[in-house]
Structure 1
Amino acid sequence: MIIKIVLVSSFCVSLLAALLHVNTETATGSEHNRVNGTVVMGTKGESLPDTITLKLFEIDQTANTITEIESTTPDYLGNFKFRSSLSNLKNYRIVVIGSSYIDYFDLKSENHTSVEIIIYSKTTSLENISVKDYLIMIPSLNAKNRIAGFLSVVEIENSSDRVWIPDITNPSLTGLDLFRFNLPKRYKSLSVESQLPEGNILEIETGFAMTNPIPPGSHSILIGYQAEYKEDNLKFPLRLPFGANEIKILIPKDKGIIKNKYFQQTENVIINQNTFLSFEGSKIEKGTQLDVEFKELPQPNAQENLINLIQSRTYSVILVGFLSTIILIVISYFFWKHLIDTQGQENFTSRQKLLIHQIALLDRNYEMNEIPAEKYHKERTILMEKIVSSDSFE
């Protein structure tokens, strides 16, 4: 009997220990799937603003939706914690509101704890913004329509510890106060993608400007557009207000060249089995204008020129002009013929004029039924014979 009690007691202890172990693991696992971390001020000498709010969002890439789960505020040291447990099978994002700009931080599935989010004080000065690498590529050239397709990848750097944000409320704000790129004349179909926080693209005739905040560090910008060219050349007044440490231009082999004192032709580059001529420059100072000219670009052939002419307004102008000329010639001809005929009538003799007058009277009398038909035809025939037999002209 005693042995049985001991066995039962041992079983209960083992069961209790197992339950405690499971609960401990569950609590630990649940704690591991909760987001916590610290908001850090990255600008020296500045304190964290007390207006910061952190929002946790769940991203469903299948349904293409983003849903807010929870919001929290950091303590005076910047520490924060979300209560919700996260799934390793889903994507999450923390949005920071209340600092100089709205920023976000994408969580990695393997790291939901000890998240560090760095924020910065703002500046409106572009002094510390520069271009590290600038790649300009022409992946396509449409000879029929004389259109060059451009693709540019630009790596920029903010070497300060402040985020650049333009003061768009300033009424004296100009393009010189914005981060900007210039493009060829007659550019179209502009598209811009970047790693920068949310902002707007402001297009102008000579290019575009960006209002996106630029935090400290390096960031990439992808620019796509098209430009029309005339004859076989395209002039690109490439201005670099922020300079460029390295700049490269790629153009398809046998479809054009560039000439510019800032560039040297280097070894060809092969991309997707296509060969490109490579022209490189370096150490371009801020404010430099390169004036790049693309030459020997593809031209439309005779058939494409004819199609372009038919589809253009020029064809309509030529057709209308041609028809107008024909009509003018016809009118001029009939006017000239009428003038000659009129002059011929003025050269009849006095006798012929008298006979013509008699025929006219005879015709009128016949039409008024004043003379019989037999007499009318007989007398008219006699008068006509007299006109023909008399002297034709004086």
Structure 2
Amino acid sequence: MTRWFLLAAFVVAGAAFAIGWPQSHQIYGQESITVQGTVLNGTAGETIAPGLLVSLHAFGSDVGSVTTVETTTDDLGGFQFDDVVLSSDIGYALTMDYSGMRYSMLLGEEDLATTVEFLVYESTQDVAVISVEHHALVITNVNQVEQQIEAVEFISLSNTSDRTLVPDLSNVGQGQFSFMRFSLPPRAANFDIQSDLVGGEVIPVGTGFGLTSPVTPGGHSLSFSFTFPYQGNAFSYQQNLLQGADVYQVLVPERLGQLEVGSLESMPAINVEGSLYRAWQGQDFAPAQGLAVELTNLPQPSLAARLGRSVTGAEFWIIAIPIMLGVVLLAALLYGGFRIRRPTTVSGLAVQGLSNDNSAHRELLVREVAILDEKFQQGQVPDAEYQAERVQLKDRILAVAPVSGGPDSDSDNE
């Protein structure tokens, strides 16, 4: 009997292992607790209504392992989750949708043992609540061969109100923007943005872009990198500073020593993680006041680099091939018109004046052919008109043969 009991216990244990039942230490090593909290309204004079949905998410160590439980607030904004498994291998987060914004809060084990205060705010569509404390344009590199500038902008901003800015994209018109907007240089490319703001989209607006992310009260930061081309040794573009800026800076690494920045005050060099940057700065820019960012003494490609880029560029061959064909044709026609004649005999002196007139006439006709060919190559003359007019000019050239006399006249008319 004992033998059969042990065999049955072994089979049950094996089956449990095969179907993935938790091992005993996973069951008894985990503690269940009650998580309590209160939703607080951070907007002055506002309260939290009862019955609002609050979610608790538990993230397991396995990828995609998420457990979600829900509850609602009471009359005082309180909420409670019972039988929450407590483990150091699990991460926790609270989420709640309120006034057009999804709020979230990460929790540690120590937070679960206390009454959690979950802060939310009423919303606003007034972008004037955004204040930019610091806005810096950093020139990271200049490619003088491709004549392209690499740059990154860093922005520190705050929502100075006690309401969350929640952009209203259904009501966008002239002067009716409820989201943040930023300027970019003309023909900017390779754009990439990083931010601590949650949600929203990046949309093209005017000469730059808009960011539709909600902005909660308090400080935030964002950065975006891009490239843009330049021509010549100077470049200027309008930086609109639509949210204004307490401080606006342009930083250039010391290795680009010849580059200068106009329209801003030169400042002492700044050490950024061991690298020196020359700095230019302006202060107290009102919203949309803006300024013209001027970069001068930009490096130019060498003559060899310019020639190399020109010869390998498609634009060069689009222009050069028709010109070369026209030159070759003109050379061939001129060669036929100025063949070396044998000396004129005394018997030909009587018609020398006529011969000179014919040569001049023939030269004019050859030039007309060259001009016609060039117009055709540039697309200024239709094909049918070109062919017909060219045949007429050719016949006229052949008709104006050199005139000479004497026994050698036949050989001159070959």
TM-score of the aligned structures, taking structure 2 as reference length: 0.69
Q: Matches of 1:295 and 1:109 in 2, distance apart?
A: 56
Q: Which whole-Å deviations, capped at 9, do the CAs of 1:215-263 have from their partners, x for residues lacking one?
A: 1111111121112111122213111222211222111221411011xx3
The alpha-carbon deviation at position 171 of structure 1 amounts to 5.8
Q: Matched residues, percent identical?
A: 23
The alignment partner of 1:288 has SS state of: coil
Change (3 A) 1:61 1:289: farther
The alpha-carbon deviation at position 61 of structure 1 amounts to 8.0
The alpha-carbon deviation at position 49 of structure 1 amounts to 4.2
Change (3 A) 1:222 1:310: same
Indicate the residue corresponding to 2:45 in structure 1.
45
What amino acid maps onto 1:85 in structure 2? V
Q: Matches of 1:219 and 1:266 in 2, distance apart?
A: 26
Q: Matches of 1:269 and 1:166 in 2, distance apart?
A: 36
The alpha-carbon deviation at position 392 of structure 1 amounts to 8.9
Q: Which whole-Å deviations, capped at 9, do the CAs of 1:115-137 have from their partners, x for residues lacking one?
A: 22211111111222211111221
Q: Matches of 2:307 and 2:410 in 1, distance apart?
A: 63
The alpha-carbon deviation at position 312 of structure 1 amounts to 2.4
Q: Matches of 2:280 and 2:172 in 1, distance apart?
A: 41
CA contact (8 A) 1:35 1:82 kept: yes
Deviating more after overlay: 183-192 vs 65-74: 65-74
Q: Matches of 1:279 and 1:392 in 2, distance apart?
A: 79
Q: Which whole-Å deviations, capped at 9, do the CAs of 1:139-195 have from their partners, x for residues lacking one?
A: 222222122111111111111111111221226475644311111111112222222
The alignment partner of 1:181 has SS state of: strand
Note if 1:213 corresponds to 2:214. Answer: yes
Change (3 A) 1:60 1:138: farther
Deviating more after overlay: 104-113 vs 245-254: 104-113
Q: Matches of 1:206 and 1:120 in 2, distance apart?
A: 33
The alignment partner of 1:127 has SS state of: helix
Indicate the residue corresponding to 1:77 in structure 2.
76
Q: Matches of 1:208 and 1:60 in 2, distance apart?
A: 38
The alpha-carbon deviation at position 327 of structure 1 amounts to 3.9
The alignment partner of 2:309 has SS state of: helix
CA contact (8 A) 2:197 2:214 kept: yes
The alignment partner of 1:305 has SS state of: helix
Change (3 A) 1:93 1:389: closer
Indicate the residue corresponding to 2:260 in structure 1.
257
What amino acid maps onto 1:318 in structure 2? I
Indicate the residue corresponding to 1:30 in structure 2.
32
CA contact (8 A) 2:38 2:118 kept: yes
Runs of 5+ in structure 2 lacking a partner? 1-27, 339-393
Indicate the residue corresponding to 1:107 in structure 2.
107
Change (3 A) 1:278 1:172: closer
Change (3 A) 1:340 1:283: closer
Indicate the residue corresponding to 1:7 in structure 2.
none
Indicate the residue corresponding to 1:13 in structure 2.
none
Q: Which whole-Å deviations, capped at 9, do the CAs of 1:36-79 have from their partners, x for residues lacking one?
A: 3211111122232456322233446884x473422222222122
Indicate the residue corresponding to 2:188 in structure 1.
187
The alignment partner of 1:332 has SS state of: helix
What amino acid maps onto 2:259 in structure 1? G
Change (3 A) 1:323 1:169: same
Q: Matches of 2:408 and 2:330 in 1, distance apart?
A: 34
Q: Which whole-Å deviations, capped at 9, do the CAs of 1:317-358 have from their partners, x for residues lacking one?
A: 233233232343155347747877654487678xxxxxxxxx
Q: Matches of 2:91 and 2:411 in 1, distance apart?
A: 113
Q: Matches of 1:323 and 1:292 in 2, distance apart?
A: 43
Q: Matches of 1:153 and 1:192 in 2, distance apart?
A: 10
Indicate the residue corresponding to 2:352 in structure 1.
none
TM-score of the aligned structures, taking structure 1 as reference length: 0.73
The alignment partner of 2:127 has SS state of: coil
Change (3 A) 1:52 1:312: farther
What amino acid maps onto 1:54 in structure 2? V
CA contact (8 A) 1:250 1:279 kept: yes
Q: Matches of 2:321 and 2:265 in 1, distance apart?
A: 50
The alignment partner of 1:292 has SS state of: strand
Q: Which has the larger radius of gyration?
A: 1
What amino acid maps onto 1:79 in structure 2? G
Deviating more after overlay: 245-254 vs 323-332: 323-332
Q: Which whole-Å deviations, capped at 9, do the CAs of 1:93-136 have from their partners, x for residues lacking one?
A: 22212433112212234422322221111111122221111122
Indicate the residue corresponding to 1:178 in structure 2.
179
Indicate the residue corresponding to 1:315 in structure 2.
316
Note if 1:233 corresponds to 2:227. Answer: no
Deviating more after overlay: 91-100 vs 139-148: 91-100
The alpha-carbon deviation at position 391 of structure 1 amounts to 11
Indicate the residue corresponding to 1:373 in structure 2.
none
What amino acid maps onto 1:224 in structure 2? S
The alignment partner of 1:316 has SS state of: helix
CA contact (8 A) 2:200 2:214 kept: yes
What amino acid maps onto 1:74 in structure 2? T
Note if 1:120 corresponds to 2:136. Answer: no
Alignment of 1:1-394 (within 5 A): 30-31=32-33, 35-50=35-50, 52-59=52-59, 63=63, 65=64, 67-83=66-82, 84-112=84-112, 113-170=114-171, 172=173, 176-253=177-254, 254-260=257-263, 263-330=264-331, 332-333=333-334, 336=337, 343-344=400-401
CA contact (8 A) 1:126 1:179 kept: yes
